[in-house]
Amino acid sequence: MNDIDPQSGKNTGEQNQNNPNKDPDRWRKWRTPLLYIAIIVLGMSIFNSIFLDRMNPTIPYSEFKARIESGEIKRVELSDSYFTGYSTQAQLTQSPMSLPSTRSRSQAGVYRAVPVNDPELIPLMDSKGIDYSAVSRQNSFFLNLLFTWILPIGIFFLIWYVISRRMGGMGAGILSIGQNKAAIVAEGDVRTRFSDVAGVDEAKEELVEVVDFLKKPDKYTAIGGKIPKGVLLIGPPGTGKTLLARAVAGEAGVAFFRISGSEFVEMFVGVGASRVRDLFKQAREKKRCIIFIDELDAIGKSRINSVMGGNDEREQTLNQLLVEMDGFDAAGGLIVLAATNRPDVLDPALLRPGRFDRQVLVDKPDLKGRAEILRIHSRNVKLSPAVDLEALARGTSGFAGADLANIVNEAALLAVRAGRQLVEQVDFQEAIEKTIAGLQKKTRVLKEEERVLTAWHEGGHAMVAAFTKNSDPVTKISIIPRGYALGYTMQMPTEDRYTITEKDLLGRIDVLLGGRIAEEMITGQFSTGASNDLTKATDIARKMITDYGMSERFRNVALTTRGMGNMLGEQAQEPQFQREYAESTQQYIDEEIARIVNSEYAKTQKLLKAKKPLLEKLANELLEKETLDEKEFKALIAED
């Protein structure tokens, strides 16, 4: 299992989540553009109010009228804002079409006055032979520029910016939509190493060869060997496939192109194929590099069951990827890594030799791997000397690396919440229970009859597990609600198991039915509390018949179903399946499931009736303490 790079997040608080208008991040995004706009408007207003007004000083109207009477003013321009008079000298130096706003402040022979409603002015100018005319209102050149060009263009770009943000940046990159969206990490910038990866030693050994080739390609080409063109990492979610790819790039010291399969596909037909071409074009420009395609199944689904006639965007993208992988030579130092947790849906053309030649399984870690993963994730966590990581590894069977990383983080948070300076073993135990059973519902108050029913139910599970051969030991019993459950019984295997016998499967059905039987013993009726147990028991019985060949009539025969593709195209949510057996066989399967469950029910009921006094004692202990650990439970059943 691989270590997973931590990702930081921002907690804006409950108030900011409820009121997005008070989001500080949103204010920071708009603060700079708004500041620029305010500075521009304020600057132009100051310029107009100071400089333009000083360029055209005014005189009193009485003085203006007196200069007309004296004959000094020979021409007058009348406007709504000003009366402007020109002397003989001004007429010789200025064009009659000149704008008043453009004349110098020190120019002689130009006089401006604020208009006054004076009916004597016109007769006076007629008697003096003054040339006068009315002119339209003249606005400032800078104000015209501001309101005619700057503000409209600014508003347009503002609207464009908001729309592009809402559309995920499509508006900003509409001309470059065919370019790839890979995150490119330069050579030497990848800090992840194989030492940061644990629990997948076999997978690391497979990838060491790829690293060695990228470092020393001549060693392979000299003997005539060829490195695989593509390496496909296969495994369940959370096992660290992406980190393994980063470790390969970090160890080799080469450029690293990382892109998700879903980023190739867009609403426009042909965009995905264009992005594939652009990605490989950029990668070939590098001397040595790694292309990592995460979630390959997003574009690599099989074309066999496609109902789109071969013209859909995903299929075109896949075809281009196949062509590009056939067209480049791995000897040039270009390696394609891909990861998926659905190898069963991939197109066979992707998996043939010459494309993804090598398939590396990245499975869930074993006991040793889990312990090593816990050590890696707790390197920066202050642990108490009493913390036993080996014991935690034994109690987390079936956990992936991401689960273990989450447990370490949850334990640290629980320690902080409790006011401790070091993380204790109890914090890890609570984190494991929180991961398995859910959050503890401390505020949920149960009725007394519900508490009694829950105590008997969980006691039934624990009692059957204790007296069933090869059953996993009970580590904790609780009637405190967690998640959707009113109580839980925790069983942890002491070692990893990779095969399960028929008797073990029947024993698991017995443990699941123990809670339902205990309820019947105390109340004489059934409740809905055992619905999940019945679902799991029925599922085990069905797989015994259909998948494992453990039925009487079809011993050693698998009664499977196969997919028919998506009958409604890509918009349908559920795939269609077709069974490969007759209707009469389906009836037999239903009857055999009922027979197995009823048979185990009768056997488990007999066991619990024989242990009823001990079961009642266990239920009373749970009602008193609410929680029993492994030691307390073993001490109680030892009294039998």
Answer yes or no: do 299 and 419 share one domain.
no
Q: Read off the pLDDT of each residue in 299-321 and give the average, rounded to a whole number.
A: 73
Would the pLDDT of 505 be above 90? yes
Rounded CA-CA distance 41/150 in Å is 10
Which of 536, 529, 517, 390 has its CA nearest to residue 461?
A: 517
Domain boundary among 313, 344, 361: 361
Q: Is 134 part of a structural domain of the chain?
A: yes
SS (H, E, C) 246-303: HHHHHHHCCEEEEEEHHHHCCCCCCHHHHHHHHHHHHHHHCCCEEEEEECHHHCCECC
pLDDT category of residue 188 using cuts at 50, 70 and 90: low
In total, the chain counts a number of residues equal to 640
Q: Is 10 part of a structural domain of the chain?
A: no
CATH number at residue 299: 3.40.50.300
Ranking 159-173, 181-195, 563-577, 619-633 by mean pLDDT, the lowest is: 563-577
Domain boundary among 317, 338, 361: 361
CATH number at residue 562: 1.20.58.760
Answer yes or no: do 235 and 304 share one domain.
yes
Whether the Cβ atoms of residue 517 and residue 534 lie closer than 8 Å to each other: no
Answer yes or no: do 309 and 202 share one domain.
yes
Would the pLDDT of 372 be above 90? yes
Answer yes or no: do 372 and 417 share one domain.
yes
Please state, for a pLDDT cut of 70, what percent of the chain lies above it.
Answer: 76
Which of 333, 344, 355, 369 has its CA nearest to residue 200?
A: 369
Q: Is 583 part of a structural domain of the chain?
A: yes
Q: Which helix (H) or strand (E) holds 450?
A: helix 448-466
Answer yes or no: do 430 and 458 share one domain.
no
Answer yes or no: do 479 and 620 share one domain.
yes
Rounded CA-CA distance 615/401 in Å is 38
Token code pair at residue 502: 């028929």
Answer yes or no: do 306 and 396 share one domain.
no
Average pLDDT, the chain: 79
Between 358 and 144, whose confidence is greater?
Answer: 358
Q: Is 127 part of a structural domain of the chain?
A: yes
Domain range for 68 is: 56-138
Answer yes or no: do 232 and 300 share one domain.
yes
Answer yes or no: do 399 and 530 share one domain.
no
Whether the Cβ atoms of residue 543 and residue 549 lie closer than 8 Å to each other: no
Strands (DSSP E) contained in 503-633 are 561-563, 577-579, 627-629
Q: Is 187 part of a structural domain of the chain?
A: yes
pLDDT per position as a tens digit, 595-616: 999 999 999 999 999 999 999 9
Q: What string of DSSP letters covers 382-447? A: -B-TT--HHHHHHTTTT--HHHHHHHHHHHHHHHHHTT-SSB-HHHHHHHHHHHHH--B-TT----
pLDDT per position as a tens digit, 463-489: 999 999 888 899 889 988 887 788 889
Q: What is the pLDDT of residue 140?
A: 59
pLDDT per position as a tens digit, 399-420: 999 999 999 999 999 999 999 9
Answer yes or no: do 453 and 431 share one domain.
no
Q: Is 591 part of a structural domain of the chain?
A: yes
Identity (one letter) of the amino acid at 143?
A: L
Whether the Cβ atoms of residue 622 and residue 479 lie closer than 8 Å to each other: yes
Would the pLDDT of 13 be above 50? no
Strands (DSSP E) contained in 49-195 are 73-78, 83-87, 110-113, 131-134, 183-185
Q: Which residues contact 245 (CB under 8 A, 6 or more apart)?
A: 233, 256, 258, 290, 292, 337, 339
Is residue 202 flagged as an active site residue?
no
Identity (one letter) of the amino acid at 543?
A: K
Q: Read off the pLDDT of each residue in 124-144 and give the average, rounded to a whole number.
A: 76
Number of CB atoms found within 10 A of residue 484's CB: 9
Would the pLDDT of 157 be above 60? yes
Domain boundary among 394, 416, 437: 437
Q: Long-range contacts: 429-433, Cβ < 8 Å, 24+?
A: 429/395, 431/406, 431/407, 432/392, 432/395, 432/396, 432/407, 433/476, 433/482, 433/490
Count: domains in the chain: 4
pLDDT per position as a tens digit, 18-60: 444 444 555 555 666 666 667 766 766 666 665 555 555 788 8
pLDDT per position as a tens digit, 579-594: 778 888 999 999 999 9
Would the pLDDT of 255 be above 70? yes
CA dihedral of 66, 69, 75, 76, whole degrees rounded to 10: 50
The one catalytic residue among 458, 592, 600, 621: 458
pLDDT category of residue 338 using cuts at 50, 70 and 90: very high
Ranking 297-306, 503-512, 585-594 by mean pLDDT, the lowest is: 297-306
Q: What is the pLDDT of residue 503?
A: 93
Q: Is 41 part of a structural domain of the chain?
A: no
Q: Is 92 part of a structural domain of the chain?
A: yes
Answer yes or no: do 480 and 513 share one domain.
yes
pTM for the whole structure: 0.65
Rounded CA-CA distance 490/506 in Å is 19
Answer yes or no: do 94 and 201 share one domain.
no
Rounded CA-CA distance 636/474 in Å is 12
CATH number at residue 399: 1.10.8.60
